């Protein structure tokens, strides 16, 4: 046994319990110190202790007693909270903050649109019109919004706007926070947006057609593995983001596609496919090591920030606002809206439009395709999308051209997918001509 210094303890020096070194020293010297004298105050505490529970040596120390934790439930403290806070003042302050945030979002959106108006579309745009407004028009809109900070009709004041969040007690809908969530998403879609002209400026070995073939194949892969739509949209977003910042060879384009879908699956899916499955679906053209290496490059390119609002993010809420006009939900409207939105994934030119604008245009055209007897836009849709019918003219017309282009398009995976009975065969539907008067109407 290792020798240690002998320790001689008196009754006043002895702590509540012996340490191992002190016990070893006492064992060698065969001198065990007496126990510490229990004070009169500690004796009273020992008498009040639970007799069935053995009293440890710690009870002999004069420790400070812990204060009793009071009831912290919201139910019992409801009166206290109501008396301490003024709900009217809080609500008024919250309304001011919300209106100010919406004004900032509107200014940013219009500024972004003004910059986009100075950029001409590529040679393969096939007549897609320019987007954006002139600088004097932007100033007029900003000045007009100063008088009405909300930029949209107030539900409490406008009887034509239906409150789509009322009556939902399911916490999954997040009805308490949904307005703030979508306000933040409208800001995020501007900051997390791929450059819409990377094919002309960044890429040298791939073309728009190659990108379309890759997206068409990834749609088939997502159907094979039964992935959720959010995985597909996020995969395409990661591909476009990487291509807008990095030049890539055509031999590695498919490798980029399966890698981005692998990352999106990890982010969105509960049970994501393994790397070996993505390698197998490419007929083992790429190895596991190559996929892992590409995964590192993609994650560094997005700075490990995988969150990005896509068209699908906004489409759910916009379709819910469109369903508010009907007594019963229409499944055809939802399927057709999803079909039109997925068509835009294959077309490189739709990167010129914001995801929220594409989602709103898909709802507009879906409503017009199913029912030409009434105008597809109403105050409820204008309120929740933030777009007037005149704002969507360019996107709706471009989307309708894709809907009608069924013969000359070689990319048929999405059309074949939505010709199935479970999607109500919406790919076989077509819309009639849209009149200019529909976009001049102020709903």
Residue 98 has pLDDT above 50, yes or no: no
Question: In this structure, are residues 257 and 242 in contact, taking their beta carbons and an 8 Å threshold?
Answer: no
Residue 91 has pLDDT above 90, yes or no: no
User: Which position has the token pair 């807008």?
Assistant: 244
Cα–Cα distance, 134 to 123 (Å, whole number): 23
Instruction: Please report how the helices 311-323 and 229-243 are oriented relative to each other, as an axis angle in degrees rounded to 10.
Output: 140
Q: What is the DSSP string of 97-130?
A: HHHHHHHHHHHHHHHHHHHHTTS---TTSTTPPP
Burial class of residue 214, CB neighbours in 10 A (0-12, 13-18, 19+): buried
Consecutive H or E run containing 90: helix 87-116
Residue 407 has pLDDT above 90, yes or no: no
pLDDT band with cut points at 50, 70 and 90 for residue 245: very high
Residue 380 has pLDDT above 90, yes or no: yes
Report, in this order, helix, strand and coil percent for the chain, each rounded to 5.
55, 0, 45
Q: Which of 29-33, 280-284, 327-331, 429-433 has the lowest mean pLDDT?
A: 29-33
User: Which position has the token pair 């406008």?
Assistant: 158
Most confident residue range from 55-69, 379-393, 403-417: 379-393
Over range 225-238, report the average pLDDT. Answer: 96
Residue 169 has pLDDT above 80, yes or no: no
Cα-Cα-Cα-Cα torsion 401, 404, 405, 410, nearest 10 degrees, comes to: 130
Consecutive H or E run containing 415: helix 413-417
Closest-CA residue to 257 (of 289, 203, 221): 221
Question: In this structure, are residues 298 and 256 in contact, taking their beta carbons and an 8 Å threshold?
Answer: yes
* pLDDT at residue 414, rounded to an integer: 94
Predicted confidence (pLDDT) per residue in 265-277, tens digit: 999 999 999 999 9
Question: In this structure, are residues 133 and 351 in contact, taking their beta carbons and an 8 Å threshold?
Answer: no
- Neighbouring residues of 275: CB distance < 8 A, sequence distance ≥ 6: 262, 288, 291, 292
Q: Which of 45-49, 287-291, 310-314, 315-319 has the lowest mean pLDDT?
A: 45-49
* pLDDT at residue 166, rounded to an integer: 79
- Neighbouring residues of 322: CB distance < 8 A, sequence distance ≥ 6: 333, 337, 363, 366, 367, 381
Question: In this structure, are residues 219 and 232 in contact, taking their beta carbons and an 8 Å threshold?
Answer: yes
pLDDT band with cut points at 50, 70 and 90 for residue 34: low
- Sign of the CA dihedral 51, 53, 57, 60? negative
Average pLDDT along the chain? 75
Q: Which of 29-38, 189-198, 340-349, 366-375 has the lowest mean pLDDT?
A: 29-38
Residue 234's SS3 state is helix
* pLDDT at residue 85, rounded to an integer: 35
Residue 8's CB: how many other CB atoms inside 10 A?
A: 10
CA 123 vs CA 182, 258, 343: distances in Å: 35, 29, 20
What DSSP state is assigned to residue 426?
G
* pLDDT at residue 339, rounded to an integer: 96
Closest-CA residue to 258 (of 301, 207, 231): 231
Count how many Cα atoms sit within 13 Å of the Cα of residue 141 in the half-sphere of its side chain.
22
What DSSP state is assigned to residue 168?
-
pLDDT band with cut points at 50, 70 and 90 for residue 65: very low
Over range 243-253, report the average pLDDT. Answer: 95
Question: In this structure, are residues 427 and 339 in contact, taking their beta carbons and an 8 Å threshold?
Answer: yes
Residue 114 has pLDDT above 50, yes or no: no
Predicted confidence (pLDDT) per residue in 411-428, tens digit: 889 999 999 999 999 999
* pLDDT at residue 408, rounded to an integer: 66
Degrees, nearest 5: CA angle 173-166-86: 100
Cα–Cα distance, 298 to 261 (Å, whole number): 11
Cα–Cα distance, 255 to 348 (Å, whole number): 19
Over range 147-175, report the average pLDDT. Answer: 63
Residue 110 has pLDDT above 70, yes or no: no
Question: In this structure, are residues 346 and 411 in contact, taking their beta carbons and an 8 Å threshold?
Answer: yes
Over range 370-387, report the average pLDDT. Answer: 92
Cα–Cα distance, 280 to 247 (Å, whole number): 26
What DSSP state is assigned to residue 378?
-
Cα–Cα distance, 145 to 410 (Å, whole number): 45
Count how many Cα atoms sit within 13 Å of the Cα of residue 184 in the half-sphere of its side chain.
7
Structural domains of the chain, with CATH: 1-47 (no CATH), 91-191 (no CATH), 198-301 (1.10.472.10), 311-440 (1.10.472.10)
pLDDT band with cut points at 50, 70 and 90 for residue 157: low
Residue 6 has pLDDT above 50, yes or no: no
């Amino acid at each position: 046994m290792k020798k240690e210094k002998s320790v001689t303890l008196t009754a006043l020096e002895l702590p509540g319990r012996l340490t191992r070194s002190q016990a070893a020293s006492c064992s060698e010297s065969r001198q065990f110190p007496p126990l510490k004298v229990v004070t009169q105050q500690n004796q009273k505490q020992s008498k009040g202790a639970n007799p069935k529970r053995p009293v440890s040596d710690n009870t002999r120390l004069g420790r400070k007693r812990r204060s009793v934790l009071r009831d912290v439930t919201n139910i019992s403290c409801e009166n206290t909270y109501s008396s301490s806070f003024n709900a009217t003042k809080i609500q008024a302050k919250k309304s001011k903050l919300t209106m100010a945030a919406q004004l900032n979002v509107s200014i940013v959106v219009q500024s972004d649109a003004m910059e986009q108006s100075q950029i001409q579309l590529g040679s393969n745009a096939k007549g897609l019109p320019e987007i954006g407004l002139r600088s004097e028009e932007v100033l007029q809109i900003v000045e007009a919004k100063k008088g009405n900070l909300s930029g949209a009709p107030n539900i409490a004041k406008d009887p034509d706007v239906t409150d789509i969040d009322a009556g939902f007690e399911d916490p999954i809908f997040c009805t308490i926070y949904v307005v703030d969530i979508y306000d933040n998403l409208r800001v995020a879609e501007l900051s997390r947006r791929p450059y819409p002209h990377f094919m002309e400026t960044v890429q040298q070995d791939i073309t728009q057609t190659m990108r379309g073939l890759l997206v068409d194949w990834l749609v088939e892969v997502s159907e094979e593995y039964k992935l959720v739509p959010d995985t597909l949209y996020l995969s395409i977003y990661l591909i476009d983001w990487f291509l807008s910042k990095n030049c890539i060879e055509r031999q590695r384009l498919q490798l980029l596609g399966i890698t981005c879908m692998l990352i999106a699956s990890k982010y969105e899916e509960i049970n994501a496919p393994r790397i070996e499955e993505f390698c197998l679906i490419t007929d083992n053209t790429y190895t596991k090591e190559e996929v892992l290496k590409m995964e590192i490059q993609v994650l560094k390119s997005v700075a490990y920030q995988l969150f990005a609002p896509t068209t699908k993010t906004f489409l759910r809420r916009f379709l819910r606002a469109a369903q508010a006009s009907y007594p019963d939900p229409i499944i055809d409207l939802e399927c057709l809206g999803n079909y039109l939105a997925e068509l835009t994934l294959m077309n490189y030119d739709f990167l010129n439009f914001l995801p929220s604008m594409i989602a709103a245009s898909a709802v507009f055209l879906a409503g017009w395709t199913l029912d030409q007897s009434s105008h597809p836009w109403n105050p409820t849709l204008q309120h929740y999308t933030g777009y007037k019918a005149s704002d969507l003219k360019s996107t709706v017309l471009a989307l309708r051209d894709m809907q009608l282009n069924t013969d000359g398009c070689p990319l048929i995976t999405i059309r074949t997918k939505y010709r199935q009975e479970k999607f109500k065969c919406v790919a076989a539907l077509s819309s009639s001509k849209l009149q200019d008067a529909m976009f001049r109407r102020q709903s």
